[in-house]
């Protein structure tokens, strides 16, 4: 493969092939659409590739990618050890001629990094989660991804908590490899912005006069949404106009609905399902809550809420404290602390001025640290370092 000279990419756009396991509507995946909104401003030209073929679950991100001008590609891989898929991946890298390959998530890293190496293209990989104990094939898949990614030019973790958790598990007692680094994600702060004038709930939710507390998350056990539900009777007793809006879908929905019914909360808790109008939903909220009990890295929803100048209440787990400054941009509570959650929700709902102040402080923090354009520029710096390292190693004059 013939590569562009350093002068060509240093003075123009860097061509990046972004490889994902699938185009699901997960936090890591939706961030790519946000990156696509600002990539050009940072001198990045993105191609996006899904290892899995198109399907209902594996294509839900595609409309968001197309909306920001990215054309989704699909490879049709069925498993990590898929020889035919690996050959097609090599062919795709050669056809797209990227300056660098960026793989996100375990399957993509395990396949795309070796394929890029065979094509003579530098690569980097990103882990989007905090380590959690695994067993069987899941543990083997993650181990493989870590070892393969460590042989790329850079392994990116999106929070210090994530890097530390992986180092504790996979490099215990040792200094993490020199190519392990932290690059915070970001969100498009033009898209996630305060309403002017302030908006109330989107019409179809039917909550025009309520004080709205929103939980926007996949309805999965580690998100701890059950703790917000169990805290809600205390909140609604103190604030009868308060309504809890649960936005998302997932395996815990039936259990959450049963808990709502058993606690007699049917009239004050609303299940809004999956929404495509997330900025409008956040702007319609008085407070945004993320009561996760473990497993959080750098939750996108907290950055989005900050972008919309909304006060947040979140569990102090993983990398959440990178985003939320307790007492300044919101409240941090211990995971699973239902009394703490109830107290924080009651305090903020009873003090609109404090809510507004925290929301504005959150917006300023997002502008300083978590804007998508800042993220894109930091990625470009990482890409340039990776490419220069690759060129240096390839130059016979610099070889040992």
For the residues of 156-175, what is the DSSP string, one character each? EESSHHHHHHHHHHHSTTSP
Residues 250 and 360 grouped into a single domain: yes
Phi, psi of 15 (to 5 degrees): -90, 120
Find where tokens 């050669």 sit: 94
In a domain, 1, yes or no: no
In a domain, 322, yes or no: yes
Residues 352 and 386 grouped into a single domain: no
Per-residue pLDDT, 375: 95
Beta-sheet strands, E only, within the chain: 14-20, 44-50, 72-74, 100-104, 123-127, 154-157, 180-182, 211-216, 242-247, 269-273, 287-290, 311-315, 330-333
Residues 364 and 338 grouped into a single domain: yes
Per-residue pLDDT, 5: 54
Taking alpha carbons only, the member of 356, 195, 363 closest to residue 280 is 195
Give the separation between CA 206 and CA 195, rounded to whole angstroms.
19
Give the separation between CA 156 and CA 169, rounded to whole angstroms.
16
H/E segment holding residue 368: helix 352-369
Q: Structure pTM? A: 0.84
- What is the biggest distance separating any 2 CA atoms in the chain, rounded to whole angstroms? 75
In a domain, 195, yes or no: no
Residues 220 and 147 grouped into a single domain: no
- Angle between helices 352-369 and 300-307 in degrees, nearest 10: 110
Q: Is residue 217 classed exposed, middle or buried when 0-12, 13-18 and 19+ CB atoms within 10 A define those classes?
A: buried
Residues 384 and 326 grouped into a single domain: no
Structure token digits, residue 384: 């340039």
Beta-bridge mates of residue 313: 289, 331
Give the separation between CA 229 and CA 256, rounded to whole angstroms.
8
Per-residue pLDDT, 400: 38
The CATH number of whichever domain residue 313 belongs to comes to: 3.40.50.2000
- Which ranges of the chain have pLDDT less than 50? 395-400
In a domain, 383, yes or no: yes
- Residue 153 DSSP code: S
Spatial contact of 279 and 296, defined as CB atoms under 8 Å apart: no
Give the separation between CA 146 and CA 156, rounded to whole angstroms.
11
Per-residue pLDDT, 399: 40
Per-residue pLDDT, 390: 82
Residues 161 and 253 grouped into a single domain: no
Find where tokens 């905090």 sit: 130
Residues 270 and 136 grouped into a single domain: no
Residues 208 and 166 grouped into a single domain: no
In a domain, 193, yes or no: no
In a domain, 399, yes or no: no
Residues 238 and 358 grouped into a single domain: yes
Beta-strand relationship, 100-104 and 14-20: parallel
In a domain, 142, yes or no: yes
Residues 136 and 15 grouped into a single domain: yes
H/E segment holding residue 108: helix 106-118
Per-residue pLDDT, 276: 79
Structure token digits, residue 119: 């094509």
Find the domain containing 222 and state its range. Answer: 203-369
Residues 110 and 227 grouped into a single domain: no
Give the separation between CA 366 and CA 266, rounded to whole angstroms.
35
| Rg, C-alpha atoms of the chain | 22
Task: Tell me the average pLDDT of the chain.
Answer: 91
- Residue 105 DSSP code: S
Residues 115 and 219 grouped into a single domain: no
Per the structure, the count of domains in the chain is 2
Long-range contacts of 58-64 (CB under 8 A, 24+ apart): 58/22, 58/23, 58/24, 59/23, 60/23, 60/24, 60/25, 61/23, 61/24, 61/25, 61/29, 61/30, 61/32, 61/33, 62/23, 64/30, 64/33
In a domain, 197, yes or no: no
Taking alpha carbons only, the member of 308, 311, 314, 326 closest to residue 370 is 308
């Amino acid at each position: 493969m013939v590569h562009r000279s350093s002068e060509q990419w240093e003075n123009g756009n860097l061509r990046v092939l972004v490889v994902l396991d699938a185009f699901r509507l997960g936090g890591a995946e939706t961030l790519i659409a946000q990156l696509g909104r600002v990539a050009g401003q940072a001198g990045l030209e993105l191609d996006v590739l899904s290892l899995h073929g198109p399907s209902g679950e594996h294509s839900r991100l595609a409309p968001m990618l197309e909306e920001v001008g990215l054309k989704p590609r699909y490879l049709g891989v069925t498993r990590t050890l898929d020889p035919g898929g690996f050959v097609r991946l090599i062919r795709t890298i050669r056809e797209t001629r990227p300056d660098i390959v960026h793989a996100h998530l375990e399957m993509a890293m395990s396949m795309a990094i070796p394929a890029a190496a065979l094509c003579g293209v530098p690569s980097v990989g990103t882990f989007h989660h905090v380590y959690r104990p695994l067993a069987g094939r899941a543990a083997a898949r993650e181990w493989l991804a870590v070892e393969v990614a460590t042989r790329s030019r850079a392994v990116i973790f999106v929070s210090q908590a994530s890097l530390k958790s992986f180092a504790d598990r996979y490099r215990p007692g040792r200094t993490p490899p020199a190519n392990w680094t932290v690059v915070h994600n970001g969100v498009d702060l033009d898209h996630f912005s305060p309403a002017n004038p302030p908006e109330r709930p989107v019409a179809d939710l039917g909550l025009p006069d309520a004080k709205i507390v929103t939980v926007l998350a996949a309805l999965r056990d580690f998100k701890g949404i059950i703790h917000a539900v169990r805290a809600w009777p205390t909140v609604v007793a103190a604030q009868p106009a308060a309504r809890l809006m649960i936005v998302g879908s997932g395996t815990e929905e039936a259990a959450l609905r049963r808990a709502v019914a058993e606690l007699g909360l049917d009239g004050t808790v609303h299940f809004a399902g999956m929404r495509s109008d997330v900025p409008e939903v956040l702007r319609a909220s008085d407070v945004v809550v993320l009561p996760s009990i473990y497993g959080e890295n750098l939750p996108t929803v907290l950055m989005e809420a900050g972008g919309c100048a909304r006060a947040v209440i979140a569990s102090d787990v993983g990398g959440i404290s990178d985003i939320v400054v307790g007492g300044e941009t919101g409240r941090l509570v211990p995971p699973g602390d239902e009394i703490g959650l109830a107290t924080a929700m009651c305090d903020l709902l009873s003090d609109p001025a404090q809510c507004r102040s925290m929301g504005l402080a959150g917006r300023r923090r997002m502008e300083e640290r978590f804007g998508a354009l800042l993220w894109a520029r930091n990625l470009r710096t990482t890409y340039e370092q990776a490419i220069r390292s690759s060129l240096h190693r390839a130059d016979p004059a610099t070889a040992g």
